[in-house]
Structure 1
Amino acid sequence: MAGLISVKSVEDFGKEVDQTVSGLLVVHFRAQWAPQCEQMDGVMVELAKEHTQVRFSTVEAEELPEISKQYSIAAVPTFILIKGKNEVDRLDGANVPELTKKVKHHADPNASPVMLPASSQPPKEDLNTKLKGLINAAPCVLFVKGSRQEPRCGFSRTLMGLLDERKIDYSTFDILGDEEVRQGLKKYSDWPTYPQVYVNGELIGGLDIIKELDASGELDQSLPKKQDLDDRLKALITRSPVMLFMKGSPGEPKCGFSRTITSILTGTGLKYDTFDILQDQEVRQGLKTYSNWPTFPQLYVSGELVGGLDIVKELQESGELASMLE
């Protein structure tokens, strides 16, 4: 849509935020399956015509969960207003008059932030708690500049290249996308530079340490090896007798199909386990090929694919669902 910038990556979003030093950015966290998001995109286009000095962008909340988590996006549509790289206001829901009012207020270069009622503001997570959560997010976590696909410094590129060559299983966090984490982790770990490598929540060190471990032959024993994807998928599929691969979680589904299927399964009163495919691109893409089923959610019973929402609905309507899950 004219007037709207579609953010496609964490790096793109960082560039958008960088430009808020001298102006206002309005971000629409949206989803393809929500019709109200399409309507609000049209509203954003009209606002962009009126406020030519303001930048307007859209983020697919499900496709870029890192950004959604950073701004505590719990539902779509949600609008975040950013100035000077900081969130100055937000709006949850498709409220055209309120969005228009907020944009008009913050488009004024002398405007002060609008303080939301305390009850509507997402609680600010303690920094140490946040850092502990990030460090323990996977058995091996790299805090780097950029991403696997687009490293933003030579040290990060060299480190990830070395670990990929040794088939080390790791996840990454882009410290360029979160200044609070970037500065806080230096003090938390008492390690002033990046990249930083953590294993089982403990700091291993930076590139030089990893190179030393590799040269001494200790790297394979110190860091977890990558599991074959098919073996990993088999393990996930059979993790529980009833296994659902969905977007989000039963308590916070991130798409309408996932919301509906969890409602149906919960209604049976039987236990089932879930896996959030938005948190793992390797599983998300690999499972499509493994199961020869191109969409999500996917339901497995005793390691066998049952199907998606349509199949589950048919089984529910025929009265066969409960007996199959048992």
Structure 2
Amino acid sequence: MATLKEIPDVTGFRNAIKETTGLVVVHFSASWAPQCGQMNEVLSELAKDPGYINVTFIKLEAEDVPEISEEYSISAVPTCVFVRRGKLLDRLDGANVAELTKKVKLLASQSDVSVPSMPEPPKEDLNSRLKRLINTEEVMLFMKGNPSEPKCGFSRQIVQILNENNVKFGSFDILADEEVRQGLKTYSNWPTYPQLYSKGELLGGLDIVKELAESGELKSQLPAQQSLDDRLKGLINKAPVMVFMKGEKAVPRCGFSKQTVAILNDTGIDYDTFDILSDEEVRQGLKTFSNWPTYPQLYVKGELVGGLDIIKELQESGELLTILKDGQ
């Protein structure tokens, strides 16, 4: 008997699509949305139906797989897409049980037909990607392996020095990405690894970090360590109008963020953004700090306005522009 498969990540989804030749029903869901629970119950029942033995039913948390949500232009939940052999056949936006059942029955009965390929995800150019990676954390280490398992002696030594000096840092394993490994040498004009960056600027490699540590100057070359709450307050107040979203203003990386950007752009009010995909500490910490479990989040003068649903309501009532202007 088939079941509704819950897939947690991009790799699992890609493999599931690749391995399946029949119809795939993908539910883009969110744990906080009650309508999604109703759709999951219906899909679970359909999966048990022996008439749909060749149909694969998949549930994805839309916010956990922004790359996939972007590919399928997911702007709200629940949304179901119907795929066969990697090609998009149809979609259903919203919680319409009758229509869902109708589409599954119809598409499951059809043989392969000529359909347009699903859109390719937008490709980020290398320099933009390197800049984004370098700025993932205020202190960023590009190394071989990771801090808990360095893959060369130089990386092991620099991690030890940073830990001994109680430096909080992010890291990137250059062995996992040859494009980054080669590109960063040119981008920063530094031919070897590890490489340590502070606030987006190259500090140097192991020799320089050793010298700074031995002279007692290392901490003065790095940003002062902040508590998470202080860091979040600083980010929230970075601009009068701040949006914490997936991706950046120019390249939103989920449908919810794309809609928010479009609404704010229409107001003509200036705003700044922070990519929560670039910083897991901020992504998780801000949920607790503001007691708001989802993204995007809009702040005006340091105060939380809300997420996409509230932004839409304010836009429809004509109040959004007033709130944003008051923040200027």
Using the size of structure 1 for normalisation, the TM-score is: 0.59
- Closer, same or farther: CA 129–260 of 1 in aligned 2, 3 Å: closer
Give, in angstroms, the shift of residue 175 of structure 1: 0.3
- Closer, same or farther: CA 59–212 of 1 in aligned 2, 3 Å: farther
2:222 matched residue in structure 1: 223
Give, in angstroms, the shift of residue 99 of structure 1: 5.0
* Residue 151 (structure 2) aligned to one of 128, 150, 153: 153
Indicate yes or no: 2:204 matched with 1:204.
Answer: yes
- Closer, same or farther: CA 312–172 of 1 in aligned 2, 3 Å: same
Q: Which runs of 5+ in 2 are unaligned?
A: 12-17, 20-25, 31-35, 48-52, 74-80, 89-119
**Counterpart of 2:70 in structure 1: which amino acid?**
A
Give, in angstroms, the shift of residue 7 of structure 1: 7.2
Give the fraction of aligned pairs with identical amino acids, expressed as a percent. 49
**Counterpart of 2:71 in structure 1: which amino acid?**
V
2:162 matched residue in structure 1: 163
- Closer, same or farther: CA 214–255 of 1 in aligned 2, 3 Å: same
Indicate yes or no: 2:297 matched with 1:312.
Answer: no
Which digits, 9 at most, give the CA deviation of each residue in 1:71-119, with x for residues without a partner?
Answer: xx893249xxxxxxxxxxxxxx97635659xxxxxxxxxxxxxxxxxxx
Give, in angstroms, the shift of residue 222 of structure 1: 2.4
> In the TM superposition, what are the counterparts of 1:33-52 in structure 2 within 5 Å?
33=29
- SS at the partner of 2:289? helix
1:89 matched residue in structure 2: none
Structure showing greater radius of gyration is: 2
**Counterpart of 1:76 in structure 2: which amino acid?**
E
1:246 matched residue in structure 2: 245
- SS at the partner of 1:143? strand
Give, in angstroms, the shift of residue 181 of structure 1: 2.9
Structure 1 contact 169–224 (Cα < 8 Å) conserved: no
Distance of 1:311 and 1:133 partners within structure 2:
29
Structure 1 contact 31–76 (Cα < 8 Å) conserved: no
- SS at the partner of 1:249? coil
- Closer, same or farther: CA 301–5 of 1 in aligned 2, 3 Å: closer
> In the TM superposition, what are the counterparts of 1:169-188 in structure 2 within 5 Å?
169-185=168-184
- SS at the partner of 1:218? coil
> In the TM superposition, what are the counterparts of 1:9-48 in structure 2 within 5 Å?
32-33=28-29
**Counterpart of 2:84 in structure 1: which amino acid?**
V
2:288 matched residue in structure 1: 289
* Residue 75 (structure 1) aligned to one of 67, 70, 79: 70
- SS at the partner of 1:225? coil
**Counterpart of 1:75 in structure 2: which amino acid?**
E
**Counterpart of 1:162 in structure 2: which amino acid?**
I
Give, in angstroms, the shift of residue 216 of structure 1: 2.2
Distance of 1:290 and 1:124 partners within structure 2:
31
Which digits, 9 at most, give the CA deviation of each residue in 1:235-291, with x for residues without a partner?
Answer: 211122222212223443333332333333333333322222111111111111111
Indicate yes or no: 2:73 matched with 1:96.
Answer: no
Structure 1 contact 168–225 (Cα < 8 Å) conserved: no
**Counterpart of 1:96 in structure 2: which amino acid?**
R
Distance of 1:221 and 1:179 partners within structure 2:
32
**Counterpart of 2:241 in structure 1: which amino acid?**
V
1:88 matched residue in structure 2: none
Q: Which runs of 5+ in 1 are unaligned?
A: 14-24, 49-57, 79-92, 101-119
Report the number of matched residues: 261
**Counterpart of 1:320 in structure 2: which amino acid?**
E
Give, in angstroms, the shift of residue 61 of structure 1: 8.9
Structure 1 contact 242–271 (Cα < 8 Å) conserved: yes
Give, in angstroms, the shift of residue 226 of structure 1: 2.6
- Closer, same or farther: CA 145–61 of 1 in aligned 2, 3 Å: farther
Structure 2 contact 69–254 (Cα < 8 Å) conserved: no
1:112 matched residue in structure 2: none
Using the size of structure 2 for normalisation, the TM-score is: 0.59
